[in-house]
Amino acid sequence: MRVHGRTHRAVALTGAALLAAGALAGCSASPEPAGSAKPSERPGSPSATAAAPPAQTPKSPPLPASLTSQRPDWKRCKAPAGGTAPGSGWRCATVDVPLDYAQPAGETIGIALIRKQARNESRRLGSMLFNFGGPGGSGVDILPRAAGAYDNLNSRYDLVSFDPRGVAASAGVNCRTDKEQEQAYRSVDMTPDTAAEEAAFIKDGADFGAGCERRSAKVLPHVGTTNAARDLDVIRQVLGDKKLSYFGMSYGTELGGTYAHLFPQQVGRTVLDAVVDPTADGVGHARNQATGFQRALENYLKDRGQDPKAGTERIARLLERIDKNPLPTSTGRMLNESLAITGIVTPLYSRSSWPNLTEALDEAENGRTGNGLLQLADSYNGRDENGHYDTQNHSQRAISCADSKARPTADEARALLPEFSELSPVFGPFLAWDTAGWCASWPVEGEHETPEASAPGAGPVLVIGTTGDPATPYEGARKMADELGAGVGIMITNKGEGHGAYGESECVTSVVDRYFLEGKVPADGKTCS
């Protein structure tokens, strides 16, 4: 999802509730078979009988044949730095795409892909591309760890994911060292209370942007979602698929909506789960998240038999105490208020992780130590036990700032504090200040105020909203379905908790599987509970 600020990491939800990347969990073609219905008879069919060339937009000159005629050279995947290689059946490749689509015959960058072929070759439907969110999540890393949730789909689809441009192995953005990152998390107050803290907060954002420019200047202007959607169409072409079959989660729904807008005729069976509101600008996203995380927190408190208002006030008071006196931990590091808020955010993504929050809060309130909340925060921030940070936050900010024209100032963020504090005493100040975070001094201009997702002529797209979703509140799914257009956006409501419904709701999982495997489109407005 397009989370405002440093409060989101790529999410892959499965029956086991894979959560944010790190210690808690990961998160992070062929012709139609003989005798099958023709593509025109099956809405959104992913047939690949004759791969269509990538559609072009007015701002996108034709691509050279050297790119459109590529064929991936699938090889055994290498282990990532500090990690292990994917297991049996996984193969990796790289596809070249233009660095700048305005100059398609110019310099290229490589987009890293990973694939597991369909088990039933005789009934194979084509490739299914996944984006698990962020922005900034590495699909090459996440898909093998999340693939168990999609085993049914793998019977007839090749499961394929990728590192979007500016992420990890695809010309990944890098903005600061581990030492610089650790220092920032230790010393910068994300909810500044004094002029000195405010100055340090603004300086940190400026320093981060300057570091991105020093280390990744070449790619920074080109890492936005529109270019990533164009990359998707190149990938579709080189995989040999006539239409794109796509499963997007969180920010991946924004990418999917952008693709549908740019390439409506190439939209195959597409599912958007945990949907980003396409009508919200930067402040709107922050406002949505203040609402969503507070709603999830109150649902958590009610589930624990606590009064939501009293429980919220208790947690807000705890954060005030930590702000004044950070808590010690067994690592020797201190848990400050900013890390504590991140630690509280993390388990709200999945109901199965609520017990982790209960344990961590009890330890902080009664034991006066911050081990649990720090571990949760580290998992969210991509920090391993050796103090190494991944670069997802770097990519996230670069993509977000390349997309959005918004550059709120400190004065504008400060003016939001009363409203946001009313929306959520726990998360509101953090999200209000974050609007003036890293994009304020960003070295590259943003593309738009809000993304465009209208897709007249596209096949039906399933849009799934969960009523208790903390990070992409339910209301955004309805807005995405409306913006896609009548007959395109098919709204499904999941009455439940957590960030994403597939693999969590048996009803939603069944509906999505029938759609992908059989082409059965549910009625618009279907509700799962």
Read out DSSP for 183-201?
Answer: HHHHH--SS--SHHHHHHH
Structure tokens at 168: 């990890």
Give the pLDDT band (50/70/90) at residue 498: very high
Burial of residue 62 (number of CB atoms within 10 Å: 0-12, 13-18, 19+): exposed
Could you tell me where the DSSP H helices lie in 127-176?
Answer: 139-146
Tokens, residue 391: 């670069």
Spatial separation of the C-alpha atoms in residues 67 and 180, rounded to whole Å: 38
Confidence of residue 3 (pLDDT cuts 50, 70, 90): very low
**Residue-level pLDDT at 13:** 31
What's the confidence (pLDDT) of residue 437?
A: 86
Is residue 250 annotated as a catalytic residue, yes or no?
yes
Catalytic residue among 158, 273, 378, 469: 469
Cis-peptide, bond into residue 135, ω within 30° of zero: yes
For the chain, the domain total comes to 1
**Domain annotation covers residue 469:** yes
Closest listed residue to residue 504, CA positions, set 8, 7, 9, 19: 19
CB 11 within 8 A of CB 345: no
Mean pLDDT of 9-28: 33
Q: Which residues pair with 448 in a beta bridge?
A: 404
Taking the C-alpha atoms of residue 311 and residue 444, their distance in angstroms, rounded to an integer, is: 42
Nearest Cα to 256, choosing from 18, 453, 509? 453
pLDDT at 59: 60
Mean of per-residue pLDDT scores for the chain = 90
Q: What is the CATH number of the domain that holds 103?
A: 3.40.50.1820
Taken in order 237, 227, 40, 506, the sign of the CA dihedral is: positive
Rounded Cα distance between 458 and 315, Å, is 46
Decide: residue 505, CB within 10 A, 0-12 exposed, 13-18 middle, 19+ buried. buried
Percent of the chain beyond pLDDT 70? 89
User: Which residue range forms the structural domain that includes residue 125?
Assistant: 39-172+220-280+451-528
Residue 310 tokens read as 């009293």
Q: Average pLDDT, stretch 418-425?
A: 98
Residue 91: φ, ψ to 5°:
-135, 150
Residue 106: Cβ within 10 Å count: 11
CA dihedral 77, 81, 87, 89 (to 10 degrees): -20
Q: What whole-number distance in Å separates Cα of residue 175 and Cα of residue 161?
A: 24
- Residue 308, token pair as written in the block: 């939501």
The alpha carbon dihedral of 409, 282, 347, 474 has a sign of positive
Residue 428 lies in a domain: no
pLDDT over 70 (residue 24): no
pLDDT band for position 205 (cuts 50, 70, 90) = very high
Max intra-chain CA distance, the chain: 71
User: pLDDT class for 84, splitting at 50, 70, 90?
Assistant: confident
**Interval 318-377: pLDDT, tens:** 999 999 999 999 999 999 999 999 999 999 999 999 999 999 999 999 999 999 999 999
Q: Is the pLDDT of residue 95 over 80?
A: yes
Three-state SS for 357?
Answer: helix
For 128, the token pair is 């299914």
Integer Cα distance of 209 and 435 in angstroms: 15
Whether 222 is catalytic:
no
Q: What is the pLDDT of residues 274-329, one digit of tens each?
A: 999 999 999 999 999 999 999 999 999 999 999 999 999 999 999 999 999 999 99
Classify 95 as helix, strand or coil: strand
Which tokens sit at 53? 């060339």
Spell 130-151 as b/e; 16+ CB within 10 A means b: bbbbbbbbbbbbbbbbbbebbe
Please check whether residue 418 lies inside any domain of the structure.
Answer: no
* Mean predicted confidence (pLDDT) in 461-474: 98
Residue located via tokens 């690592």 = 331
Q: Which is the catalytic residue, given 261, 285, 394, 499?
A: 499
For residue 187, pLDDT over 50 is answered with yes
Report the relative pairing of strands 90-98 and 75-76 from DSSP bridges: antiparallel
The answer to whether position 455 is within a domain reads yes
**CA-CA distance, 167 to 346, in Å (whole number)?**
22
**Token pair of 266, please?**
């190439």
Residue 108, domain member (yes or no): yes
State how far Cα 61 lies from the chain centre: 29
Annotated active-site residue in 127, 250, 379, 400: 250
Give CA–CA dist 184/198, Å, rounded.
Answer: 14
28 assigned to active site: no
Which tokens is 95 given? 């596809």
The answer to the question of residue 457 being in a domain is yes
| 246 within some domain | yes
Q: 422-442 burial string, b = 16+ CB within 10 Å, else e?
A: ebbbbbbbbbbbbbbbbbbbb
Give dist(CA 271, CA 11) in Å, integer: 15
Sign of CA dihedral 158, 161, 165, 171: negative
Cβ–Cβ contacts within 10 Å for residue 348, how many?
Answer: 27
- Mean pLDDT confidence for 89-97: 98
Residues 6+ apart with CB under 8 A from 332: none
Q: Is residue 478 part of a domain?
A: yes
Neighbouring residues of 523: CB distance < 8 A, sequence distance ≥ 6: 490
